[in-house]
Amino acid sequence: MPTFTCPLPLPTRERILLAHGGGGRLTNQLLEEIFLPAFANTALEARHDGALLSVGGARLAMTTDSYVVQPLVFPGGTIGDLAVNGTVNDLAMCGARPMALSAGFILEEGLAMDTLRQVVFSMRDAAMMAHVPIVTGDTKVVDKGKGDGIFINTSGIGVVVAPGPIGPQSVRAGDVVLVSGDLGAHGIAILSVREGLQFEGPMLSDTACLWPAVEALLSAGIEIHCLRDLTRGGLSSALNEIASAAGLHIMVQEALIPVSAVVRGACELLGLDPLYVANEGRFAVFIAEKDADRALTILRAQSVSAGAVQVGMVHERKSDRSSGIVTLRSRIGGHRVLDMMSGEQLPRIC
Amino acid sequence: MPTFTCPLPLPTRERILLAHGGGGRLTNQLLEEIFLPAFANTALEARHDGALLSVGGARLAMTTDSYVVQPLVFPGGTIGDLAVNGTVNDLAMCGARPMALSAGFILEEGLAMDTLRQVVFSMRDAAMMAHVPIVTGDTKVVDKGKGDGIFINTSGIGVVVAPGPIGPQSVRAGDVVLVSGDLGAHGIAILSVREGLQFEGPMLSDTACLWPAVEALLSAGIEIHCLRDLTRGGLSSALNEIASAAGLHIMVQEALIPVSAVVRGACELLGLDPLYVANEGRFAVFIAEKDADRALTILRAQSVSAGAVQVGMVHERKSDRSSGIVTLRSRIGGHRVLDMMSGEQLPRIC
């Protein structure tokens, strides 16, 4: 009788590229080929910013992010407040009130203690602003040349307060797409330091806690279909993930997308598209068209989303292809497909 | 009228040393001088392996750990199963049933995809063994030479099932100290690879999930006063932390502490003290003396704690000094103070 053995996969010569961490196509490939098959479970497969869990009778959201931004201190923030705001925002994007954060530090031997102090104190300030305690932590030190100053992981748990499911599965044709403010400030602030660029005005990161904006929408009874913060890969990658998961067509209008003159100028100079540049205090929200005006009024009353505008709408796919698509109507009236970022535009932006 | 300004602390020339991550005296100093003042809150100040929280009506424990062990693959495990077991064990040490883990990867550009696969699949196996899903994740990539292959952060949440408070504050004079098995295997397994040592028998890491042992004690109604896994800094550092927090005197007997002949031999060769070597599948438990025999029987029925023994007892401090102390009664009858590890014995052991 023949025996059947399950052969181990042959060794490959594939290696990790910077773009595997960029939030675009290669990150998705890594997720689909390695992480999802290994860790298969319903919470992970939802592929949202956080996982929804029922624990001890409570409806919880849980999320994690590691921060590797360079430089550690940049105009408008540090790796520390970024690590607090980014994880708090992932909870907010689940419709969950942030309740507690953990902080895991990987320090490089030789790091100046004063740099650590500055980063830790900016974490403290961001946590106080967000009203979220840092309840547990861990510190590891790696040999000089095996790290890069400071890496921080923050994980968070929150209590889900949104009544309905928030995610791509709730997006419907006819929904409007709002964004909470002008795009690209974080990415350009980081790049300005790296490249030694000077601007006429101050070019600060938009890093901020988004929960007050989400809470205001929920408190007013706005039925939120989907939320997504516009981090790695920017607006384009976020919309592509949602369109793809929902199997719908998202159409945005270039003329409606808010980009400041400074960011637009810097992007032209550097050959970047602001729709792919990372933000750390901006999000997109999908709601029914009937709620659009009221939602915009509510968002504009919160300082973190004072610049909220409608940028597009959701449509059925015209063809019978089930996959989603994002298109951009340009200022001169043409249409083009807005693809997911395939490479790494700005490595280590968060 | 004079004005008072709060001066910024003067810049110092202090720098981070490897020993700041070693789990001993310098780690404690970092905690006391930087992290605790910044993040002050009751959960963090408990300084346990995890934080206890009441969230949405549920009694939860939350914990985080980053793993930077080298090599990534070692006899008996990988950084992946270590990252699962270590964090699950921190929850178990809070008397909490592990419910969900997050996984945050920091990958170095150029990492072989096959190494990542091996590590991720060993995480999967460890998570399945521990019956805990990995529900959310994140991947970042840093430039070649700015990381070290793979760093992993795992954070976890669990539901507290222990009826009473578990921690140094519950330890009483008259309690017995049990350890769950022989000490030092993880540290020596790692070191054997680094130093190219050969042993007669296999020298495998003890990395394992401790929850079944804790659950068995709780299910049997044993009143657990304190639990501590014996990771960085080994048995000595763990006992010192507890003695210090409880303000009591812990006395252990050298002849009762289980150390295998292979570990003892390797420690002698390398000039290490097995009481300071890291374990990844061993813990100490403090209970009333009346429960000792029953607890040992229960522990020995679980494979992960089959080698459980009593190693010492807790006493009042004789002097009027309020700080705790740990002493060792040696084989020949002498007594010496077992201090907290002050340097870094084995860097990057977990």
Give the CATH number for residue B151: 3.30.1330.10
The answer to whether position B23 is within a domain reads no
Lowest mean pLDDT across A245-249, A340-344, B178-182: A340-344
Domain-terminating residue out of B125, B160, B195:
B160
pLDDT at residue A6 in the model: 43
Distance from CA of A346 to the nearest CA of B (A): 12
Closest chain A residue to B103, measured at CA: A64
CB contact under 8 A, B108 and A16: yes
Question: Residue range A111-119: average pLDDT?
Answer: 96
Question: Residue range A80-90: average pLDDT?
Answer: 98
- Residue A110: which of B15, B111, B141 has the nearest Cβ? B15
Rg (CA), chain A: 20
Domain-terminating residue out of A133, A160, A187:
A160
pLDDT at residue B266 in the model: 92
The answer to whether position A22 is within a domain reads no
Q: Does A134 touch chain B (CB under 8 A)?
A: yes
Local structure of residue A133 (DSSP, 8 states): -
Q: How many residues does chain A have?
A: 350
Distances in Å between the Cα of B51 and the Cα atoms of A56, A193, B9, B63, B126 are: 16, 38, 30, 6, 23
In this structure, the answer to whether residues A287 and A179 fall within a common structural domain is yes
pLDDT at residue B11 in the model: 62
- Burial letters A152-173, b for 16+ CB under 10 A, else e: bbbbbbbbbbbeeebbbebbee
The answer to whether position A193 is within a domain reads yes
**Nearest 10 degrees: CA dihedral of A324, A330, A333, A338?**
-20
Q: Does A201 touch chain B (CB under 8 A)?
A: no
Distance from CA of A97 to the nearest CA of B (A): 10
pLDDT at residue B340 in the model: 83
In this structure, the answer to whether residues B85 and B220 fall within a common structural domain is no
In this structure, the answer to whether residues A121 and A247 fall within a common structural domain is no
Q: How many residues does chain B have?
A: 350
ipTM of the complex model: 0.93
Lowest mean pLDDT across A56-65, A315-324, B187-196, B241-250: A315-324
Q: Does A104 touch chain B (CB under 8 A)?
A: yes
Residue bearing tokens 């950084």: B79
Which of B87, B118, B139, B144 would you mutate first to test chain A, the one with the most A CBs within 10 A?
Answer: B139
Distance from CA of A310 to the nearest CA of B (A): 30
Question: Residue range A263-275: average pLDDT?
Answer: 92
The answer to whether position B226 is within a domain reads yes
In this structure, the answer to whether residues A224 and A182 fall within a common structural domain is yes
CB contact under 8 A, B142 and A120: no
The answer to whether position A189 is within a domain reads yes
Q: What is the mean pLDDT of each run of 10 residues along chain B (350 residues)?
A: 44 84 85 90 74 90 97 97 98 97 97 96 97 96 97 97 94 98 96 84 92 98 98 94 94 97 92 94 98 98 98 88 87 91 78
Dist CA B162 CA B96 (whole Å)? 7
In this structure, the answer to whether residues B155 and B173 fall within a common structural domain is no
In this structure, the answer to whether residues B297 and B319 fall within a common structural domain is yes
In this structure, the answer to whether residues B150 and B172 fall within a common structural domain is no
Q: Give the pLDDT confidence of A138-163 residue by residue, as tens digits.
A: 999 999 999 999 999 999 999 999 99
Report residue A156 as tokens.
């968070």
Residue bearing tokens 């000792």: B292
Q: Does A147 touch chain B (CB under 8 A)?
A: yes
In this structure, the answer to whether residues B65 and B184 fall within a common structural domain is no
Report residue A348 as tokens.
């280590």
Phi, psi (deg, nearest 5) at residue B154: -120, 135
Enumerate the residues of chain B whose CB falls inside 8 A of the CB of residue A38.
Answer: 120-121, 123-124
Q: Does B44 touch chain A (CB under 8 A)?
A: yes
Q: Where are the alpha helices (DSSP H) in chain A?
A: 25-30, 36-39, 42-45, 79-92, 113-129, 185-195, 211-219, 234-246, 261-270, 292-300
Residue bearing tokens 């490939």: A29
The answer to whether position A21 is within a domain reads no
CB contact under 8 A, B56 and A51: no
Distance from CA of B118 to the nearest CA of A (A): 10
The percentage of chain A sitting over the pLDDT mark of 90, rounded to a whole number, equals: 78
Q: Give the pLDDT confidence of B223-244 residue by residue, as tens digits.
A: 999 999 999 889 999 999 999 9
Enumerate the residues of chain B whose CB falls inside 8 A of the CB of residue A17.
Answer: 109, 141
Which of B49, B64, B132, B160 would you mutate first to test chain A, the one with the most A CBs within 10 A?
Answer: B64
Non-local CB neighbours of A333 within 8 Å, separated by 6+ positions: none
3-state secondary structure A177-234: EEECCCCCHHHHHHHHHHHCCCCCCCCCCCCCCCHHHHHHHHHCCCCEEEEEECCCCH
- Residue A136: which of B44, B108, B138 has the nearest Cβ? B44
For residue B279, give the nearest of B181, B184, B177, B180 by alpha carbon: B184
Q: Does A41 touch chain B (CB under 8 A)?
A: yes
In this structure, the answer to whether residues A92 and A207 fall within a common structural domain is no
The answer to whether position B27 is within a domain reads no
Dist CA B203 CA B184 (whole Å)? 10
Q: Does B157 touch chain A (CB under 8 A)?
A: yes
CB contact under 8 A, B68 and A140: yes
CB A126 within 8 A of CB A76: no
pLDDT at residue A344 in the model: 67
CB contact under 8 A, B21 and A139: yes
Question: Residue range A110-128: average pLDDT?
Answer: 97
Q: Give the pLDDT confidence of B6-38 residue by residue, as tens digits.
A: 444 556 679 999 989 887 788 888 999 999 999
Distances in Å between the Cα of B173 and the Cα atoms of A32, A271, B93, B94, B289 are: 55, 70, 21, 21, 10
Closest chain A residue to B122, measured at CA: A38
In this structure, the answer to whether residues A184 and A104 fall within a common structural domain is no
Q: Does B79 touch chain A (CB under 8 A)?
A: no
Enumerate the residues of chain B whose CB falls inside 8 A of the CB of residue A116.
Answer: 16, 34
The answer to whether position B270 is within a domain reads yes
Q: Does B232 touch chain A (CB under 8 A)?
A: no
pLDDT at residue B1 in the model: 37
**Nearest 10 degrees: CA dihedral of A216, A220, A224, A230?**
-20
Question: Residue range A269-290: average pLDDT?
Answer: 96
In this structure, the answer to whether residues B324 and B184 fall within a common structural domain is yes
Q: Does B152 touch chain A (CB under 8 A)?
A: no
CB contact under 8 A, A55 and B347: no
Enumerate the residues of chain A whose CB falls inside 8 A of the CB of residue B138.
Answer: 64-66
Phi, psi (deg, nearest 5) at residue B18: -55, -35
Report residue B232 as tokens.
């960085």
Q: Residue A197 sits in a domain of what CATH number?
A: 3.90.650.10
In this structure, the answer to whether residues B80 and B222 fall within a common structural domain is no
pLDDT at residue B12 in the model: 64
Structural domain boundaries, residue A318:
168-337
Closest chain B residue to A121, measured at CA: B38
Domain-terminating residue out of A138, A160, A182:
A160
CB contact under 8 A, B100 and A55: yes
Which of B62, B135, B143, B144 would you mutate first to test chain A, the one with the most A CBs within 10 A?
Answer: B135
Phi, psi (deg, nearest 5) at residue A30: -60, -45
Q: Does B142 touch chain A (CB under 8 A)?
A: yes
| E runs forming strands in chain B | 51-55, 58-67, 73-74, 77-78, 96-108, 134-142, 150-160, 175-179, 224-229, 249-253, 283-288, 309-315, 325-329, 335-337
CB contact under 8 A, A136 and B56: no
Query: How many domains are there within chain B?
Result: 2
Enumerate the residues of chain B whose CB falls inside 8 A of the CB of residue A22.
Answer: 141
